[in-house]
Structures are given as structure tokens and as C-alpha cells.
Structure 1
Amino acid sequence: MTSKFQRYADDEISDPSIQMPHQFLATSTQQYPIDILVSRLEKHLADPSSAHEKYPWAAGFVMGIPVPSWQRQVVWNVGQKTRFIVAVWSGADLGSYLTNAWCDSGVGRALAENSDILIDGQQRLHSFEEYFLDRLAVPDVQGQPRVWSEVGNGERKRFLSTVFTHAHVSSDDELLLRKTYDLCAMGVAPRTNDQRAAR
């Protein structure tokens, strides 16, 4: 192994049989304000039975988005959730959340399993939900814990206009969706074996 960096290998020393990992599913991204997620939460809270009818196979919902049974549970503690919401207020890069955009409306009102599911970002979206429902207080600039309902409309608009990138894939292949889910946390906060979806 050489300590000298080369952008490309010289033709005579490269081995075309060496293949590195490839993307499981093509991913698209869109820049949306958090307000878009809040609209989905409002719709879900107004008529939760409709969501259960549409996604009868969902293990649960976060911000109105169905969560598959093979996802790990919510594991962030109050401190982690609070730090995330403070990061939003402070203008930090939020990364992205990933959903599966594929759906099949051929069976009545119910969508095919894994339609519209949340693949990655459950901890962050759950933090939003807890905050918006006044179940989580975060410190204001004075250090006083504040829930969402205490914040004025000017500050709420600032928070809701924050961009949170929405990434999505489109697949009806559950194994590829599970592998994509497992891959999302590799090298950041690896999931324990019992939390992995593709075993």
C-alpha cells in the first residue's frame, strides 16, 4: 500500500475485477421546510383512523408517516431529543429523513405494505412530534425550558421555515428497503444486531 495519494490509479496497476459497494436504491432529495411535516402531523391528528385504514400494516406513525414493523423503537432519551430541537432553533444542518415513495392503490383504500414508510429519521421526527405536542421542553435564550405552545408566532414561523431535506426511494422490494434502513446508520450510530432489519 502506498502513502502517496493518486486520484486515479495508473492503468497498468489497476485491477478491474475489484468492485466496491453500490447503492441499493436510487435516492432523490427535495428541500422542504419543517412546515410540510407539520401539515402531515396535523392531518394525522385530525383523523388517525383514516391513517390506520390506509396503512393497516404500519407498526405506528411518527409525524403522520407510517413506520414499518422492522424499524427499531424510539431510543433517543430526553437529552438527545432536546439537543436536536435546540440544533433546529440554532440553524444547524439537520441532515435528512428518508421515506419510500412507492405505493400501490390497487386494493381499496389500503396501500400496499411498505408504501410511504419512514426508512430513516425516526428519532428526529419523533423529537419534532414530542415538541409540537408539548411533551418536550427546550431551553430558550435565557435557559428557561419552553414547550411549543409557549412560543410566539414569529418564532414559530422561524422554526417551521427551517429546511429539513426529504430524501426518498421508490421500491416494493422489502429486502432492499430493509438493507437501506440498516445502511443508514452505519458508521454514525450503528444499530445493534437486534435492531437490524435485514438479518
Structure 2
Amino acid sequence: MSPIFQRYADDEASDITIQMPQRILATSTHQCPIDVLACRLEKYQADPSSVHDKYPWATRFVMGIPVPSWQRHLVWNVGQKARFITAAWSGADLGSYLTNEWSGSAGADRTLAENSEILIDGQQRLHSLEEYFLDRLAVPDLLGQPRVWSEISNGERKRFLSSIFAHSSVCSDDEVALRKTYDLCALGVTPRTHDQRAAR
């Protein structure tokens, strides 16, 4: 006979010494349109040198957001990128991307301390958007014809940009906690190999 599910155990049956994993950093999530990211990319492209000056420690930027050196590199292939963009066009749930909202000053020259405002999770998806917006990635239209962003009408662009891509954020200057959060982000989907982990 199968056990019967109970949301809460009887007091006599529960073991209060058992502790399950806990959240590393408090996270907040907001439902945001893709347009928020598109605006950030536009600002970045308008003056990339000032963004690089603000985050001199960043190894790269995705959609204008600094990526820390301890993140894995870009690994999605063209097919994976195109499927993500197609999912956005189709109104699928895109999940969320995670940033660190903490912002520390590194000095009087207005540079920010390492790990300020970094992208923690979602690099592959945000990079797919960037490639698409910059006409480096084509996705099929309703007739199966590959189309790049510059070919799309403003009406269709508005529809795409209004698609929801949730933005989650933490706020911490603790690099160890940030690295652990990064490692935990994909455990249930595509576990990172040992060489891709940030916390060792």
C-alpha cells in the first residue's frame, strides 16, 4: 500500500533535528518585459567605454550587464539560442535571470567594486537575446523562413519586447555566497560540471 501524503507530520513522528538545505541569499523577483533588457543593451552600445570604466574587473558583458570572472563561458549552440528566442516569440515561460543588486564603490574614480551589479544566472539566455538583437542569430518565422531582428516590423518588435522575462535579484557583497548561489541555480536543470562551478 502506498503511503498517504500529509503536508505536516504528526508531532510524534517528526524529527526536529533534521535540517534541509536553506536559501543562501534572500531573493526578490519582478515580472519585467524584455524591453528592460533591450534598453540596457542600447545604453551599453551607445557608450561601451564608460560601462567598461565603471566595471574594470568584468571579464565580459551580456546585454550590458557585467559578468564575473568565475562564471562559466558561453556554451549554448545556435540551435539552443534559436529555441530560446522562438520560445519568447511564442509566449512561453522564460524563467528568470538573476543579478546582484549590491553596488560598492571602489574609489573616487566612480568605478564599482568587484561583484557589483553582476549577472549571476541567465547568461546563456541573455546572450541569445543579444545575438538576436544584433542580427547575429536568425529564428524561423511562421513560414519557416529564418529572420533576423532588423527584418521584423515595429509592431512585431513591440510584441516581442513586451514578453515577460522575470528578473530576480539578490543584494550581497559576499563573493562566497554569490558563488554558491550561482552553483545552485542550475542544479535541477543542467548541473554544471566541476570545472564550471564557481565555489570550489
TM-score (norm: length of structure 2): 0.97
Aligned-pair Cα RMSD in Å:
0.9
> Is the partner of 2:98 in helix, strand or coil?
strand
Quick one: distance in 2 between partners of 1:106 and 1:69? 17
Aligned to 1:3: 3
| Unmatched tracts of structure 2, length 5 or more | none
Listed one character per residue, the Cα deviations across residues 136-178 of structure 1 (whole Å, up to 9, x for unaligned) are 0000000000000000000000000111100000000000000
Aligned to 2:61: 61
Instruction: Count matched residues.
Output: 198
Aligned to 2:131: 130
Quick one: distance in 1 between partners of 2:37 and 2:7? 41
Aligned to 2:141: 140
Q: 2:96 is matched by which residue type in structure 1?
A: S
TM-score (norm: length of structure 1): 0.98
Listed one character per residue, the Cα deviations across residues 77-100 of structure 1 (whole Å, up to 9, x for unaligned) are 000000000000000000000000
> Is the counterpart of residue 183 in structure 1 residue 189 in structure 2?
no
Aligned to 2:31: 31
How far off is 1:4 after superposition? 2.4
> Is the partner of 1:163 in helix, strand or coil?
coil
Quick one: distance in 1 between partners of 2:14 and 2:162? 48
| Unmatched tracts of structure 1, length 5 or more | none
> Is the partner of 1:32 in helix, strand or coil?
coil
> Is the partner of 2:69 in helix, strand or coil?
coil
Quick one: distance in 2 between partners of 1:146 and 1:5? 50
Q: 2:147 is matched by which residue type in structure 1?
A: R
> Is the counterpart of residue 196 in structure 1 residue 197 in structure 2?
yes
> Among the aligned pairs, what percent are the same residue?
75
Q: 1:186 is matched by which residue type in structure 2?
A: L
Quick one: distance in 1 between partners of 2:49 and 2:134? 19
Stretches of 4+ aligned residues off by more than 2 angstroms: none
Aligned to 1:167: 168
Listed one character per residue, the Cα deviations across residues 91-145 of structure 1 (whole Å, up to 9, x for unaligned) are 0000000000000136231111100000000000000000000000000000000
How far off is 1:31 after superposition? 1.3
Quick one: distance in 1 between partners of 2:106 and 2:179? 23
> Is the counterpart of residue 94 in structure 1 residue 99 in structure 2?
no
Quick one: distance in 2 between partners of 1:29 and 1:120? 13
Quick one: distance in 1 between partners of 2:42 and 2:55? 17
Quick one: distance in 1 between partners of 2:69 and 2:6? 45
